[in-house]
């Protein structure tokens, strides 16, 4: 005689769900095995060309999934790095107290990075004062005033420098002018470079050593204090005269000339110095995920067009999609739904 305790539950009063193992599910009733069989028989087949298309998307996205996994790093998930990403976004988008500070921060960052070049240019103009050299410096000033196009500026600078260098009597002087020209070219490589040079000249700030002082100040900030904006505000307040002197050159809006704004700028510059290489690698990951997402969106579209409630899903539809977990994790990490902010566009409308 069969053991009735091992028989399937035939009672309609004990509903079961599709997640319940079939041997523990009722035969009749809502969620029962018979209902599943009836539902399955009523479902349509997904067209073969759609299945082939889905398989092609999975094959094409495979290389991007593997590349993303290879680039991925634990550093990208660290709270400090994520904080940097968010601050960068706030500056770029001019949000909240970061509004109006983006260009000024970029100017200050460039000035600090190019401080040695700027100091050399200034010292050369002060030291080599022959008639031809002074004439050349005046031509450089003229080129800077109309130098909206860096490529044209470099071409004209090269043409003007030939005579000035040739008519410099000493080899030392010729080498100095050659370095002078090269420094100008290097600064002009940055889109803001020529504008920065113009502003230094317009406001006649000859003491470029102020940039070294600010640079040293930023580099001395302890890592544990970089995220403490109140502590950085105190630091900016203690050195307010330095930032005030340079505020007009880096175009800080009048309403933003205060210790808090300077603290925001030095915080971002310090974080960039710390995470510059990591950020470049992260940008690479984002580019790969965006490419991966193009195929993923097509797969999602197929699921939406052919829902499981109406269509029979083959077993392959339940298989994990390589790269999906990584993608979803970063999508959540980089999206603030409460504020409606997506810190990085991963090419998704799923957020």
pLDDT number for residue 351: 42
User: In this predicted model, what pLDDT tens digit does every residue of 260-303 receive, in sequence order?
Assistant: 999 999 999 999 999 999 999 999 999 999 999 999 999 999 99
pLDDT at residue 25 tops 60: no
Question: Helix H segments across 114-206?
Answer: 115-127, 131-145, 150-166, 171-188, 193-202
Q: Give me the pLDDT at residue 14, please.
A: 39
Closest CA to 243 of 196, 219, 270, 211: 211
- For the segment 223-236, the average pLDDT, to the nearest whole number, is 92
Helix axes 229-238, 259-305, angle to 10 degrees: 150
User: Taking the mean position of all CA atoms in its chain, how far away is CA 233?
Assistant: 25
Q: Mean pLDDT, to the nearest integer, of 183-200? A: 90
- Domain map (residue ranges) of the chain: 46-112+207-351, 115-189
Q: Which of 323, 232, 270 is nearest to 105 (CA)?
A: 270
Kindly state the tokens that stand for 301. 């579209």
Residue 31: what pLDDT? 61
Half-sphere exposure of 112 (CA within 13 A, CB side): 21
pLDDT tens column, 95-122 = 999 999 999 999 999 999 999 999 899 8
What pTM value is reported for the model? Answer: 0.78
Beta strands at 311-312 and 44-45: parallel, antiparallel or unpaired: parallel
């Amino acid at each position: 005689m069969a053991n009735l305790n091992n028989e399937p539950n035939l009672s309609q009063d004990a509903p079961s769900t599709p997640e319940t193992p079939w041997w523990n599910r009722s035969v009749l009733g809502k969620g029962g095995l018979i209902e599943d069989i009836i539902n399955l028989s009523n479902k349509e087949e997904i067209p073969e060309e759609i299945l082939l298309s889905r398989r092609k998307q999975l094959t094409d996205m495979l290389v991007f999934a593997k590349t993303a996994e290879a680039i991925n790093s634990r550093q990208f998930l660290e709270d400090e790095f994520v904080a940097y990403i968010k601050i960068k976004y706030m500056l770029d988008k001019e949000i909240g107290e970061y509004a109006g500070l983006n260009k000024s921060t970029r100017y200050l960052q460039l000035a600090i990075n190019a401080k040695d070049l700027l100091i050399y240019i200034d010292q050369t103009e002060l030291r080599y004062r022959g008639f031809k050299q002074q004439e050349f410096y005046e031509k450089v000033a003229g080129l800077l005033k109309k130098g909206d196009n860096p490529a044209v500026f470099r071409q004209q600078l090269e043409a003007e420098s030939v005579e000035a260098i040739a008519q410099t009597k000493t080899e030392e002087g010729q080498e100095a002018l050659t370095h002078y020209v090269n420094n100008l070219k290097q600064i002009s490589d940055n889109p803001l470079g020529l504008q920065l040079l113009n502003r230094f000249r317009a406001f006649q700030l000859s003491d470029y050593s102020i940039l070294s002082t600010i640079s040293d100040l930023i580099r001395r900030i302890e890592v544990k204090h970089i995220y403490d904006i109140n502590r950085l505000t105190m630091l900016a307040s203690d050195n307010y005269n330095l930032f005030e002197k340079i505020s007009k050159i880096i175009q800080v809006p009048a309403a933003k000339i205060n210790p808090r704004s300077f603290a925001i700028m030095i915080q971002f510059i310090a974080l960039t110095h710390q995470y510059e290489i990591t950020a470049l690698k992260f940008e690479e990951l984002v580019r790969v995920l965006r490419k991966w997402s193009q195929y993923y969106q097509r797969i999602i579209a197929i699921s939406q067009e052919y829902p499981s409630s109406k269509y029979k899903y083959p077993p392959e539809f339940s298989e994990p999609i390589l790269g999906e977990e990584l993608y979803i994790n970063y999508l959540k990490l980089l999206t603030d739904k409460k504020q409606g902010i997506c810190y990085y566009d991963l090419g998704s409308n799923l957020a």
